[in-house]
Structure 1
Amino acid sequence: MNNSFFERRYVIAAIFITFMVILLGRLFYIQLVDDRYLYFANNNVIRKKILFPARGPILDRNGHILVQNEPVYDLMVIPKQVKPFDTLEFCKLIGIDMEGFHKRFDKATKHSKYLASTFEKQMSVSLYRSLQEKLSDFPGFYGQLRSVRSYPDSVAAQFLGYTGEVRDKDIEKSGGYYRLGDYIGVTGVEKAYEEVLRGQRGVENQMVDSRNVPKGKYANGAYDTAAVAGERLISSLDINIQKLGEKLMRNKVGSIVAIEPSTGEILAFVSSPTYDPNMMVGRERGNNMARMYQDPYNPLLIRPIQAYYPPGSSFKPLDGLIALQEGMINPQTTFFCPHYYMAGNHRVGCEHFDGVTDLRKAIAMSCNTYFCNVFDKLISRNGSKRTRQTFIDWKAKVNKFGFGVKLDVDLPNEKRGNVPAPERYDKIFGENRWRSSSIISLAIGQGELLATPLQLANIECTIANRGFYYRPHLIKAIGDKDVIKKEYTERNYVGVDEQYFEPVIDGMQQVVDHGTAAAARIPGIIMCGKTGTVQNPHGKNHSIFVAFAPRDTPKIAIAVVVENAGYGSSWAAPIASYMVEQYLRDTITKPKAQVEYIVNANLLPPPKGSKIKEAKPAKADTLKKGKADSADKPQPVLKAAKRKAKKPAPAVYYANQAIRREDE
């Protein structure tokens, strides 16, 4: 009997001990392992309110605001706290339907039942105020104040870029700094300077009651942290010529890049077609972006640094400079131009019968014959058996001018253009089986040579500075400090002595004074320039003009590209002259009707996929009538090269299409 009693006692004790262990284990689990109850408790008493800092504003070089902030509200929800309510009235208040409500609520629940997530983004202040009066009727919902970008003048969209919600890879890459629902710079300056623009988040701990009504700060704000606004950026952009450039490029495809040669600061950064940057904020952002992705003219492409074009005749001064430095020619060296140049058995045409031609005249007349002779001297100077190595040396010298390499502008996704590698020609012609005559198209800036508009403008800075350039950049100050990266203050010498630039500049001045760009002459301002008309296999040729002004102590260098517009003298040159005069004089003296003619012209090419009918070229200008660039008759790929080719050359796509293969 006693044994039975003791046995029962131990069983009962074991049962009690087991219950105690279970209770203690459960208590341990609730307090230290499962944090749901902590969220329940805190959310019933304390709500952590994130204080989003205002992103730093962006100004132009004269202090004009390009980007600022305006307040909006995100409607937040904690699914576990949501109680039954009139969903129809709720949907009506915020402007969504029932399907949209369930879609948003399911997404929030999937994220977390206990943590707040965004239910509706970027509600205007007026819309949120109408909701706020009845927000206590919808438990589990509250407003989160934040700011979005606003663009007072609706300009420079591709330069400024836009912001968007962080993606998983952004959160991971940031080491946890960003959280779901945060905004980050996606393109342009917004992305390049994200760390200084974004500021620092703050936190405010609020006491709330069971109906989610705020009851003041927790611990009198002892645990709150203030938000720190992002830094202000001063850009190098001049809004006056930026606006003018976008106006002149309306209904045209192409770009304008203007740079201050003495600093490398970019004054204008026009990419056309463009878009209103205000379309990239607000509740219609997604729809607007979808439409732009479908636009055949691709307004989201940043043409100044991403579009490729053969430089055409704008490349000729560069080849002349290299030849002068190498001692292959001097300013008085002449070649006879009989209206053509024979590259082997291939005839390269020249627009004029130039006769005996020296360097200055060759640049002014844009003589193909002269520069084909110069190129032959450069590539053949070490003998035909060493053509390949001589070409490699030539390529390195061209690279020093910023062709075929990235200039490291302070924007993401810059492209480097293309200066072909010898391996390309080895594949086409066979090793040691090609000569200067095989690749003569390079002499006049055609063939496989490709450049971005930024690179074209930078060449003009180099010539204007007589032998060096500063790396182009778009931001000149951060906050109250003129903080410029060291590499933007260093001179980049191109390996050509200063003395050799004067005859080239003489020729470029003659281009504007009485040559191919005479119609772009600006009374009282000496402008030096070069027109070019670039071969385009997909339609009408591209119009190009590069220039700098004034000749002495230059203040602006510019490159203008108008796709499918024909002669460089017809469209690109007058656009550049208006931009230059506006910057130097703050006015345009040319008749208003001339300017309006350019503004109102619609040069948009047929959309991709439609049948493009090659337009018949207008009658070539002569030296007596505006003087067309001799490259206005672009040279075809050599027939001899086609016959010898072992493989077809990789296809090259110009303008708004990427090059299929970039030679290293």
Structure 2
Amino acid sequence: MRKLLLFALVVFVGITFIVRLYYLQVYDSKNYDPLEDTAVRKVFTYPKRGYVYDRNGELLVANQPSYDVMVIPKEVEPLDTLEFCSLLKITKENFIKTFNKARNYSPRLPYVFLSNLAKDDYAVLQEKMRKYDGFYIQKRSIRTYRKTIGANVLGDIGEVNQVIINKDDYYNKGDLIGKQGVEKTYEKTLRGFKGTKFIQKDRFNRDIGAFEDGSNDATAQPGKNITITIDSKLQEYGELLMTNKRGGIVAIEPNSGEILAMISGPTYNPNLLVGRNRSKNFTKLYNDSLAQPLFDRGLQAMYPPGSPFKAINALIALQEGVVTPDDKFRCNLGFKYGNRRMGCHLHRSPANMNLGIYESCNAYFGNVYLKIMDKYDSRVDAMNNWSKHVKSFGLGNYLNNDLSVGQPGKIPNSSTYDRAYGKGKWYPTFSISNAIGQGEVLATPIQLANIAAAIGNRGYYYTPHIIKNIESDTIPSKFTKPKYTTIDKKHFEPVIHGMFDVYNKGTAKMLQVKGIEICGKTGTAENFAIIDGTKTQLTDHSIFVAFAPKDNPKIAIAVFIENGYFGSRFAGKMASLMIEKYLKDEISRTDLENFVLYHTLEHEYKKPYSGEPFKINRETTLETIPVEEYEALKYLKAKIDSK
């Protein structure tokens, strides 16, 4: 009986083992995860990130090799910490802090212990890595920016944070992702897809080859190259003109909506946010609360649009049939309403639409605005109808573009004034400042450029966008479909003629460029700030919008210069120069160029500066040029030396 029991026990145990082995090999192997196997190490192979080219095929953003020291905490054996720290050029405290972070993240998963090793450090360290179990070097690429321009356009890449990791399981700790600009908007296009390699280890924790002959490995897929709409020459020139000034310039191709230039001043070299110094440099830029170089003024700064907004009010008045181009209104150095007055400068009176535009008559547009409001019996209907027309030009919304940041601006409606004064307790004169682009109206430079494009196109525009071409792909169809304003095409010619006369005999007559028919509108926006609890008026902003040529325009532009005095002083000159640079690829108005480059506005931004231009000649050396004016004056110095 005992023998039988023993035999049965042996048979039962044997069958149990056979069944268990069969289950593990046939059924449970389907759920096998190599990551759970301590004898297997997973290594990511990072793809080549896609290149970025400008509209003319010039390479703007490429890649350069980078080396990261990785750690798998569970595999780390006792080591000479001081020697290891010396090799990595870090302190022991930093070693302990980073290792604890890695262990808290996961004992079994790879963690970036030290990123962006220099090539020389990599060469030294590679020879000695075998001594440090659990550590290995991973190769990947980081960005290199071929020019020092377009930081706000191109953006940068940086390490993902935990929020991103939780949202998207593609990313792991230490991975890089687009943080701003094109790098952020087209992250999934540029990044490609990571590859994976599983490496078998022996009982001594040494790599012995590919796990299961590489059957679980995946090959990295490189990112796609993209071409953006920016003209790098125009972008570079615009950034030069913006030296020592703050503001935004946006230029658009009207017949496509492609953004030709997008300047924000002040700016910075995009290569500052590459490599091991990225964090330090980013912190420095971020903490610069005065200049705010990370703030894209072309897309995010909301300003009063000033007199360029008068063109929209003229178009609305024509569409609503409340005025004709020949109707005239008197101007006695301003527009009087109640016991208040909206001032105006000296010009002929009475003014019709043409003179009202090219001489920028506040009295004319004050009367036009009230005509628009008085058409309807209900002031609510009048205000909402006016607001609808204005918004059809792309104001008051984000434009649905492909840019990484932006602001909607502000276009008021009846609810705006109900909240401010009480329901129904307001009148058209309460909002009269809207007539001249002040009051409750706010717009960004890209919206102002879009207005110029819509007027130049006689009533339609394409959504402004930065993408021109994606390798083996197409751009979104929303960028190729026109959007129409609420203004009929026939009403645009009188307004365009007025903008053309701004250059011929109006506020920009001194800014003409020979051989180019430019239509423009100057603007001067009042500038207030709360200082020590008191509303204080500061130096006015300088504004200019334009398109050229007059018929079939190739470029529409908006220039906004903070504290830049009146419209033609800085913004108008810069707009004329940008237009000539793009259409002719040369500058004939060197007098305008010299004025813009010689003059700074740093004294307006509360920084120590004498306010006097720095004079240069053939005897000037680059070492003597003030650092705050270096780029602009270096350019002038080269021109002088070449003659």
TM-score (norm 1): 0.84
The answer as to 2:438 corresponding to 1:446 is: yes
Once the two structures are superposed, residues 439-463 of structure 1 have per-residue CA deviations (whole angstroms, 9 ceiling, x without a partner) of 1100000011000101000000011
Contact 1:136–1:213, Cα closer than 8 Å, also in 2:
no
Q: Does the C-alpha gap of structure 1 residues 268 and 540 become closer, same or farther in structure 2, counting only changes over 3 Å?
A: same
* 2:199 alignment partner in structure 1: 206
**In 2, Cα distance between equivalents of 1:605 and 1:238:** 31
Verify: 1:496 aligned to 2:487, yes or no.
yes
Matches of residues 123-202 of structure 1 in structure 2 within 5 Å? 123-174=117-168, 176-202=169-195
Q: Report the Cα distance in structure 1 between the residues aligned to 2:485 and 2:463, rounded to whole angstroms.
A: 12
Native 8 Å contact 2:39 2:205 kept in 1: no
Instruction: List gaps (5 residues or longer) in structure 2.
Output: 530-537, 612-643
CA contact (8 A) 1:51 1:203 kept: yes
Q: Does 1:316 align with 2:310?
A: yes
How many Å apart are 1:546 and its aligned residue?
0.4
Residue type of the partner of 1:422?
S
Question: Is the 1:527–1:549 Cα contact (8 Å) retained in structure 2?
Answer: yes
Contact 1:191 1:412 in 2 (8 A): yes
| Cross-structure match for 2:39 | 41
Letter in 2 for 1:276: N
Mapped partners of 1:392, 1:590: distance in 2: 44
Letter in 1 for 2:596: I
Q: 2:85 matched to 1:91?
A: yes
When structure 1 is superposed on structure 2, of 490-499 and 455-464 the one drifting more is 490-499
Letter in 1 for 2:414: P
Which among 496, 513, 530 is matched to residue 522 of structure 1? 513
Partner of 2:596: 598
Q: Residue 499 of structure 2 is aligned with which of 489, 508, 517?
A: 508
Provide the C-alpha distance between the structure 1 equivalents of 2:122 and 2:607, rounded to a whole number of angstroms: 50
* Range that drifts further, 452-461 or 413-422: 413-422
The correspondence for 1:230, drawn from 215, 223, 228, is 223
**1:584 equivalenced with 2:583 (yes/no):** yes
CA pair 611-67 structure 1, distance change in 2 beyond 3 A: closer
Cα pair 1:136 1:211 within 8 Å, conserved: no
Superposed, which structure 2 residues align to 1:488-637 within 5 Å?
488-538=479-529, 539-591=538-590, 594-604=592-602
The separation in 2 between residues aligned to 1:426 and 1:106, in whole angstroms, is 58
* Equivalent in the alignment of 2:64: 70
Offset at residue 431 of structure 1 (A): 2.9
Taking a change above 3 Å as real, the CA distance of residues 291 and 210 of structure 1, as seen in their structure-2 partners, is farther
Give the Cα–Cα distance (whole angstroms) in 2 for the partners of residues 69 and 58 of structure 1. Answer: 10
Change (3 A) 1:495 1:358: same
Q: Post-superposition shift, 1:138?
A: 1.6
Measure, in 2, the Cα distance between the counterparts of 1:34 and 1:120.
31
1:182 & 1:142 partners in 2: Cα distance?
16
- 3-state SS, counterpart of residue 580 of structure 2: helix
Q: Distance in 1 between matches of 2:232 and 2:201?
A: 48
Equivalent residue runs for 1:135-534 within 5 Å = 135-174=129-168, 176-208=169-201, 214-296=207-289, 297-383=291-377, 386-481=378-473, 483-534=474-525
Distance 1:150 1:78, change over 3 A: same
For residues 381 and 242 of structure 2, the distance between their equivalents in structure 1, rounded to whole angstroms, comes to: 43
Instruction: Tell me the CA shift for residue 112 of structure 1.
Output: 2.4
1:308 to partner: Cα distance: 0.2
Which residue number in structure 1 is paired with residue 535 of structure 2?
A: none
The alpha carbon displacement at 1:402 in A equals 1.0
Aligned-partner SS, 2:330 = strand
Number of equivalent positions: 597
> Take 1:248 and 1:121, find their aligned partners in 2: how far apart are those partners?
37
1:225-279 residue CA offsets vs partner (Å, 9 max, x unmatched): 2111111111000000100111111221111000000100000011111121112
CA separation in 2, counterparts of 1:555 and 1:38? 61
Deviations 1:138-157 (A, max 9, x none): 22111111111111102111
> CA–CA distance in 1 between the matches of 2:145 and 2:594?
26
CA distance in 1, matches of 2:553, 2:206: 65
d(CA) in 1 for partners of 2:32 and 2:582? 66
> Alpha-carbon deviations, 1:280-303, whole Å to 9, x = none?
221111111111121022111122
* 1:108 Cα deviation after fit: 1.4
